[in-house]
A and B are shown apart, each in its own frame.
Chain A
Amino acid sequence: MTKLTIRGNMATALGAKLCRPDVIPAYPITPSTLFPEKISEYIADGELDAEMIRVESEHSAMSACIGASAAGARVCTASASQGIALMSEMLFIAAGMRLPIVMAVGNRALSAPINIWCDHQDTISQRDTGWLQFYAEKNQEGLDLMIIAFKVCEDKRVLLPAMVGIDAFVLTHTIEAVDVPDQKLVDEFLPKYEPELRLDPEKPMTFGSFGTPEFYQEFKYMQTEAMEKAREVIDEVFAEFKKKFGREYRKITPYKCEDADVIILTMGSMSGTARAAVNKMREEGKKVGCCKLTVYRPFPAKEIVELTKNAKVVAVLDRDISPGFGGALYGEVSAAFVNEEKHPFITNYIIGLGGRDILIEDFEWIYERSMDVIKKGRVEKPVQWVNLNEEVL
């Protein structure tokens, strides 16, 4: 094991490198550009035996990923924001063709207005593409989750692609200390990719067939079942990862939730700030906890219900917005409780869009709003925006 102080993009690039990918088609986009740069360097310096395809768009990046993966290669790429929006069509196809491609994402806002900073709109808006989605809180998680993602995706019970999100700038460009696992251990953990089905002249078959109404639904059902199976595979891989590398991952990671009246749900880098805020509020005697989601697809509904069912308020923080509804995570947490007899109040906070800083005070404000709900015994405003600058409106 080596300890390095590196940026998030380098952490995901190192994670990818340790997985020995064969082909990396990529197109530069802020804030992910360092990923293809580092991969290019590794190849140029002979540290990585792989082929880079310097494509002319993100759409072609994902298209080339699909071609290379179908031909039997281990494939990864990186993108963000507009790039992910552009490749959206191909994200559905990668999943539908059951190709275990892994993509590192620097989670960034979508235009307009154009904005290069962090939110989760880019990947959240692709939640129905059939990709597994992991969100990292820190650079170490970015590196580890790349390795974990390949292991889960290539499992024969799954065979689906995955994205690993690290927050734009907050992680992509921020230097943190990271433990880099030994190559030997990663090789033991993630053996060579040997797909059962591939484009092979010895055994010709057609990939990406025309699916008529008699068959299409069955394809989608099997794909959805694979996503369901990913639940147990993720748990197995998390356990194996802990055994091998000593670091523990969980689909959701609670913090001081046992006796909490208010539980704040978070994703990504804001989760660390949430814990700091909880510590501060706990010192003031407030019964508050927080919980981060590392896995967003498959959605850990059961785990969230189990954790939060005895709380009085679940405050769901969304770094994304579905105009005309609210945050995506809020909708899914609410849906998770819909058939439960007893459930907490569920409230939604839209926060940190386009790189707006998320502060300890914001969590305190959310806690106060949550206490209002408890006092009044009802939710007056289910979706609220945090830290809006009223002067601009």
Chain B
Amino acid sequence: MELYSKGHRACAGCAEPIAVRAVLNEAGPNTIGVVCTGCLEVVSTGWPETAWEIPLIHAAFENAASVASGVEVALRKLGKKDTNVIAFGGDGGTFDIGFQALSGMLERGHNVKYICLDNEAYMNTGIQRCSSTPYGASTTTSPAGKYSIGENRPKKPIAAICASHDIPYTATATVAYIEDLRKKVRTALETEGPSFIHVLVPCPTGWRHPSDKTIEISRLAVETGIFVLWELKGSDFNNIKITKKIRNRKPVTEYLKTQGRFRHLFKPEIKQDVIDRIQKEVDEKCKRFGVDL
């Protein structure tokens, strides 16, 4: 049985349901889900329907981690320790408004598996800039214009920050590599204590790409080195494991060109300085992580 069922109201091509299905099918029915306010909650919980075949609780935007803390402790107290607790947060609910609650949950060592579904902006409210938004992306609150290249700050390194809490397991994943995602969920579930999995989920509406390109763009994010797939047990970054090393890494333009949010970098004229900076930062990151084969 699918634990995240069909009939939900996500946009065509949305990567979130793909990720959620993979996570839940790996976790199985003895799981309680916690979801923060955002696209996922809106498209899946409209009363009297629900897409969730597991018990689910949604409370507010910034607190999936603290609600999950309560669920996990209650289960422990009531002798139901074998039930998985999985929290789903969007990037807004994780990087920004829910950051404090997340940090608290990780620091306290709750046995909660936190899945961040990152589509790199506040998509539910209409594509506003978040600290997850990458440098150069145009959003409705960081629009490209005569005096603007779009978002002018780099993406917050959320997974590394979480790992720095010295939690047992941190990983990154994306929907093009679904087996990699499932394996990481499995590892998280098998590891006692908090885990954080950062999942890049392309958003056709916000990234402005055709809805049948979701998986392709997810794969390009990895093949260009924009998004590195890694996992780490503990907080010693020397032990980081790159789960998808890249041979002949593609130039970032191959990724950027697929999405309307970066169109202003190419039209009406090419903004080479911005593209060069993105490429340079990706090159440095890939070198640091040892991504290239």
* Shortest distance from the beta carbon of A378 to any chain B beta carbon, whole Å: 49
The 4 A-B pairs of least Cβ separation, nearest first, read A67-B70, A56-B104, A64-B70, A60-B66
- A68 at interface (Cβ–Cβ under 8 A)? yes
A115 contacts partner chain B, Cβ-Cβ < 8 Å: no
Q: Mark B54-80, 1 if CB is under 8 A from A, else 0.
A: 111111101101111111111111100
Encode A83-124 as 1/0 by CB contact (under 8 A) with B: 000000110010001000000000000000000000000000
18 A-B interface contacts by CB (under 8 A): A51-B73, A51-B74, A56-B101, A56-B103, A60-B104, A63-B66, A66-B57, A67-B71, A73-B70, A90-B60, A93-B59, A199-B55, A199-B71, A205-B56, A206-B55, A208-B57, A208-B59, A209-B47
Contact: B45 with A90, CB < 8 Å? no
Find the B residue at minimum CB distance from A24.
B73
A73 in contact with B63 given A207-B56, A211-B47 (CB within 8 Å)? no
Nearest CB on A from B34, distance (A): 7
From A68, A69, A208, give the contact of B45 (CB < 8 A).
A208
Residue of B nearest to A27 (CB): B104
B57 touches A64 (CB 8 A): no
Q: A53-B70, A199-B71, A210-B46 are in contact. Are A67 and B57 (CB under 8 A)?
A: yes
Residues of A contacting B48 in the complex (Cβ-Cβ under 8 angstroms): 209, 215
Q: For residue B54, which residue of chain A has the nearest CB?
A: A204
A97 pairs with B59, CB closer than 8 A: yes
- Chain B count of residues within 8 A CB distance of the other chain: 44
- A residues neighboring B (CB under 8 Å): 22-23, 25, 50-51, 53-57, 59-60, 63-73, 75, 89-90, 93, 97, 199-201, 203-212, 215
Chain B residues near A53 (CB, 8 Å)? 69-70, 73, 108
Question: In the complex, what distance in Å separates the CA atom of A71 from the CA atom of B78?
Answer: 9
Quick check: B60 and A54 within 8 Å, CB to CB?
no
A200 contact set on B, CB distance < 8 A: 55
> Within the assembled complex, what's the spacing in Å between the Cα atoms of A373 and B173?
74
Chain A residues lying within 8 Å of B71, measured Cβ to Cβ, are: 67-68, 70-71, 199
Contact of B222 with A by CB under 8 A:
no
Interface residues of B in 73-118 (CB under 8 A from A): 73-78, 83, 100-101, 103-104, 107-108
B63 & A60 in contact (Cβ 8 Å cutoff): yes
Q: Is the CB of B29 within 8 A of A201?
A: yes
Min CB gap B65→A, angstroms: 8
- B30 lies within 8 A of chain A by Cβ: yes
> Do residues A209 and B78 form an inter-chain contact, with CB atoms below 8 A?
no
CA distance A93 to B62 in the complex (A): 13
Q: Are B55 and A57 in contact (CB under 8 A)?
A: no
Q: Are B46 and A63 in contact (CB under 8 A)?
A: no
CA distance A32 to B193 in the complex (A): 31
Residues of B within 8 A of A (CB): 29-32, 34, 41-42, 45-48, 50, 52-60, 62-63, 65-78, 83, 100-101, 103-104, 107-108
Q: Which residues of A contact B108 (CB under 8 A)?
A: 53-55
10 new A-B pairs (CB below 8 Å) besides A60-B104, A66-B57, A206-B57? A25-B69, A55-B66, A55-B69, A59-B63, A60-B101, A64-B66, A90-B63, A204-B54, A204-B56, A207-B58
Residues of B within 8 A of A75 (CB): 70, 74
Cβ contacts under 8 Å, A203 to chain B: 55
Are B76's CB and A64's CB within 8 A?
no
A57–B66 Cα gap in the complex (Å)?
10
B70–A69 touching, CB < 8 Å: yes
Question: Which residues on A sit within 8 Å (CB–CB) of B60?
Answer: 63, 89-90, 93
A256 to chain B: closest CB distance in Å?
Answer: 47
Partner of B66, one of A67, A70, A199, A215: A67
Q: How far is the CB of A39 from chain B (nearest CB, A)?
A: 14
Closest to A60 in B: B66
Asked if B69 and A209 sit within 8 Å, CB to CB, the answer is no
* B68 contacts A67, C-beta separation under 8 Å: yes
Contact check: which of B32, B47, B103 meets A212 at CB < 8 Å? B47
**Distance in Å: Cβ of B191 to nearest Cβ of chain A:** 20
